[in-house]
Amino acid sequence: MFIDTHCHIHESDYPIDSQEALVRARAVGVGKLLCVGTNEQSSRDAVAFAGTHDNVYAAIGVHPHDTKDEYDILPLFGSPKLVAVGEIGLDYFYTHSPREVQITALEAQIQMALDHDLPIIFHVREASSAERRESVWSDFWPIFDNFQGIRGELHSFTDTQANLEQGLQRGLYIGVNGISTFTKDEAQKTMFTSIPLDKLLLETDAPFLTPVPVRGIVNEPAFVTHVAHHQAAIRKMSIDDIAQATTTNATVLFAL
């Protein structure tokens, strides 16, 4: 069995039929998936979607891009099949929300997760300019370290080996998606192979980041199998071993 630990098929603007996507996912062995909120409405939709579908779970949170807007996700805590807070974090690639607003929202949502004993799905993205490249991590790690007992993952991780090691030292899992199958960056390729198997999570981020060999079409949970096969190939492991390890990791982190 495979688990897609990060998708957005519950969104109202998901480009293909979500019910058909679920059927195709089950047909290729994707037994469970996690629908991840990005703002208040998206989080409400994730909870509702999970509540009406077997083996679908929900995460609630406000993406850094949306932290400039008013939101209240507290009423969603305690919802059936809610297994995480996310995706939350810092994103300096765009300036949709001011840096200070992102930081305040991140701190507040980390506290919410700890108050409800839930793991966290972190979104951390660098600024686009070289001179600001490390600024997001220099903000993120001190915020993280101000809290005790955080459990979670670095979603869609594509950063440096050094920041990978920082995350692993803090006990975080690492989410890998289609980027790993098509990146041309040799440092990223090396980093992907060095993620410990017991910290590896598979994800699609559907509808985004469609993996090789199905680039050019809308991403969906069934395609997490392509990410899994790529991991098996670069690690020279069987697909069964990848499936077993990543399913165990997701089951433990999210208490599925």
**pLDDT for 12:** 95
Give the residue among 27, 33, 20, 14 at the shortest CA–CA distance from 204: 33
Q: How confident is the model at residue 139 (pLDDT cuts 50, 70, 90)?
A: very high
**pLDDT for 131:** 52
User: What pLDDT, in 10s, does the model give residues 146-162?
Assistant: 999 999 999 999 999 99
Q: Which residue has the higher pLDDT, 68 or 95?
A: 68
Q: Which residues contact 181 (CB under 8 A, 6 or more apart)?
A: 211, 212, 226, 227, 230
**pLDDT for 127:** 78
